[in-house]
A and B are shown apart, each in its own frame.
Chain A
Amino acid sequence: MAIKVQSNAFDAGEELDRFMTCHDGVGAVVNFVGIVRSNSDDEPVDKLVIEHYPGMTEASLQRIVDEAEKRWSLKNCLVIHRYGELSPGEAIMMVAVQTAHRQAAFEAANFLMDYLKSRAAFWKKEYRAGASEWVKSRHEDDVAAQKWQDENR
């Protein structure tokens, strides 16, 4: 299991290559990479700036990974999330999981993404057309995260 919070750009292909060193019993790998969109509300995006809370950000990611491990039998898990200034087309974050079977890998990756949206200590600010705006949290993201909690009851 690895969690990386970094300002440096990363190569998702290289990261996935390294992650493909599989343990015994691994039958599935699911990988998701989030990219800075070049357009938002039909306007070109100049850049994205991501603020984080050193210490709490890592702790919040660890809690999310721990929760995923409780729910699925993960053979391995990787979470990378950047902070600082990012340009359109750059990778923001990446999750990858290894499990024995396909269904668990898809579900765990989906869960990690749903929780990362609303429970990892990051705040995005979007710069476009000479103005900047803090990205608002989306109600759909809260609902998506809540859905997993409700299922667990």
Chain B
Amino acid sequence: MKPIEVLYFAWIRERIGHPKEQWTTKANTAAELVVELCQRGPEYQAAFRDLAAIRVAINQEMVPLDSPIKEGCEVAFFPPMTGG
């Protein structure tokens, strides 16, 4: 079990209902974390329904969904960026 911090942005944050949380996970990858979070309730399922529309960053760097999660890391989920 690894303590991590999970952050949500834009419509993912709105669907889940809060911007961040401390979480203790068994997940080894970001993809496994998504599956684990979805077991917590319908708000998480609504947020993660379309994985193609979701990007992930670990310790503030964009990474593929199958990237490993380590103890104490910061995992963020957000839609594609719309800057400029």
B-contacting residues of A (Cβ < 8 Å)? 34, 51, 53, 55-56, 59-60, 81, 92-93, 113, 116-125, 134-137, 141-142
Q: Out of B76, B82, B84, name the residue touching A53 (CB < 8 Å).
A: B76
Cβ contacts under 8 Å, A136 to chain B: 82
Q: Is the CB of A137 within 8 A of B78?
A: no
Task: Given A56-B57, A59-B60, check contact A137 B80 (CB 8 Å).
Answer: yes
Q: Is the CB of B84 within 8 A of A117?
A: yes
A-contacting residues of B (Cβ < 8 Å)? 7, 9-11, 13, 57, 60-61, 76, 78-84
Q: Is the CB of A113 within 8 A of B84?
A: yes
Q: Is the CB of B79 within 8 A of A56?
A: no
Q: Is the CB of A93 within 8 A of B57?
A: no
Cβ contacts under 8 Å, B84 to chain A: 34, 92-93, 113, 116-117, 120, 122, 141
Rank and list the top 7 A-B pairs by shortest CB-CB distance, nearest first.
Answer: A137-B80, A122-B83, A120-B83, A56-B60, A123-B10, A117-B84, A116-B84
Q: Is the CB of A137 within 8 A of B81?
A: yes
Task: Given A113-B84, A123-B81, check contact A51 B60 (CB 8 Å).
Answer: no
Task: Given A53-B60, A56-B57, A121-B78, check contact A93 B11 (CB 8 Å).
Answer: no
Q: Is the CB of B60 within 8 A of A125?
A: no
| B82 to A: closest C-beta gap in Å | 5
| B67 to A: closest C-beta gap in Å | 15
Cβ contacts under 8 Å, B60 to chain A: 53, 55-56, 59
| B64 to A: closest C-beta gap in Å | 15
Cβ contacts under 8 Å, A117 to chain B: 81-84
Q: Is the CB of B78 within 8 A of A122?
A: no
In the complex, A59→B13 CA distance in Å? 21
Q: Is the CB of B83 within 8 A of A53?
A: no
